[in-house]
A = this chain, B = another copy of it.
Amino acid sequence: MTTTETSKTLALTGGVGGAKLCLGLAQVLPASELDILVNTADDFEHLGLPIWPDIDTLLYTLSGRANQTLGWGLEGESWNCMESLESLGGETWFRLGDRDLATHLWRAEAQRQGRGAADIVAALAQQMDIAVGIYPMSDDQVRTIVRCDEGNLPFQHYFVRRQCEPPVTGFSFEGITSARGNASVLRQLKAGDYGRIVVSPSNPYVSIDPILQVPGVWTALRDSAAPVVFVSPIVSGLAIKGPAAKMMRELDVPVTALGVAEHYRRRYPGLVDYFVIDESDATLAPEIEQLGMRAVVAPTVMKNQQQKESLARYCLALEPL
């Protein structure tokens, strides 16, 4: 595919880990040159409110208001509503901070006005002074179901209520076969507007897979002339954050960057151009290359702003193959 304008970058992301790399990308790129496609399959309705965890994590991170101590939610948050709800015997297993609640109330109102997810996300981003493009993977409802020994669990029940405790046997995404991918991102992908595609080190099973499995998305990424760069969420056999390593173990997948690369190769043949692994996993590079992708060794652990920007620059520097 010929590209007329390839200065833009498209990033795919899920939760907290992915948002870190997105923040790095947002710091090193002009705002108009970064679009981010976000997982919405772990959205759910709680207390009658639309909770969109990955969207909000990204919004709060990019607007500089993410709670650094908790690792989720808003800085300077208070919990008076939850405390009172608890005294009324209400459901408080999913902690909604007082300030965070405003986002959900605002979104619920926007939904009642008939606004779609992309429109709502764009409005929230604007209110939070975020200039990069943030796009939910679909305006249609997709819901991750975690298959466990004990039965199927909606994602947030597995993730928050059960603290990822039940062993998993697989995942499914309700509604995905009929979900329409974000029109703007698909159009730009097909028009060759993206010169770089970066897949954040988010959970492969519950953050990245849902985005890629929205009909038309992964093939459009594969068919793009842009280099498709995946960053491994597994470093030295551990997930930096979240249940990815535990899930891999339970699924009998080797808990290594190689295991992740194999997952993506098997599920999305021909998609991955570059697979970025941490320096501590450098010895895995030859096996990863045997999967038909370029292994890139870089410092992938992002503990501070400089490391986020540095990893972002690393990903952006990779040339089309």
A interface vs B, CB < 8 Å?
47-49, 74, 77-78, 80-85, 87-91, 97-103, 105-106, 108-109, 112, 124, 127
Q: Could you jot down 30 A-B contacts, CB within 8 Å?
A: A47-B108, A48-B49, A48-B105, A48-B112, A80-B80, A80-B98, A80-B99, A81-B99, A81-B101, A81-B105, A83-B99, A83-B102, A84-B98, A84-B99, A84-B100, A84-B101, A85-B105, A85-B106, A87-B102, A88-B102, A88-B106, A88-B124, A88-B127, A89-B106, A90-B102, A90-B105, A90-B109, A91-B109, A98-B98, A101-B101
Bound form: Cα–Cα A124–B100 in Å: 25
Bound form: Cα–Cα A124–B88 in Å: 7
A-B contacts besides A80-B80, A81-B99, A84-B103, 20 pairs, CB < 8 Å: A48-B48, A48-B49, A48-B108, A48-B109, A74-B84, A81-B81, A81-B98, A81-B102, A81-B105, A82-B102, A83-B99, A83-B102, A87-B102, A87-B127, A88-B103, A88-B124, A89-B106, A90-B105, A90-B106, A98-B101
How distant is A244 from chain B, measured CB to nearest CB, in Å? 31
How distant is A212 from chain B, measured CB to nearest CB, in Å? 31
Q: Which residues of B contact A101 (CB under 8 A)?
A: 81, 84, 98, 101
Interchain CB contact (< 8 A) of A84 among B84, B102, B112: B102
Bound form: Cα–Cα A84–B108 in Å: 15
Q: Which residues of B contact A80 (CB under 8 A)?
A: 77-78, 80, 97-99
How distant is A230 from chain B, measured CB to nearest CB, in Å? 34
How distant is A292 from chain B, measured CB to nearest CB, in Å? 46
Q: Which residues of B contact A85 (CB under 8 A)?
A: 102, 105-106
A89 touching B127 in the complex, CB below 8 Å, given contacts A83-B99, A102-B84: yes
Residue of B nearest to A110 (CB): B90
Residue of B nearest to A100 (CB): B84
Q: Which residues of B contact A100 (CB under 8 A)?
A: 84
Residue of B nearest to A101 (CB): B81
How distant is A63 from chain B, measured CB to nearest CB, in Å? 10
Q: Which residues of B contact A91 (CB under 8 A)?
A: 109
A98 touching B127 in the complex, CB below 8 Å, given contacts A84-B103, A108-B47, A112-B48: no
How distant is A78 from chain B, measured CB to nearest CB, in Å? 5
Q: Which residues of B contact A109 (CB under 8 A)?
A: 47-48, 90-91
Bound form: Cα–Cα A85–B49 in Å: 14
Q: Which residues of B contact A112 (CB under 8 A)?
A: 48
How distant is A91 from chain B, measured CB to nearest CB, in Å? 7
How distant is A255 from chain B, measured CB to nearest CB, in Å? 39
Bound form: Cα–Cα A49–B83 in Å: 18
Q: Which residues of B contact A82 (CB under 8 A)?
A: 102
How distant is A58 from chain B, measured CB to nearest CB, in Å? 16
Residue of B nearest to A86 (CB): B102
How distant is A119 from chain B, measured CB to nearest CB, in Å? 14
Residue of B nearest to A96 (CB): B105
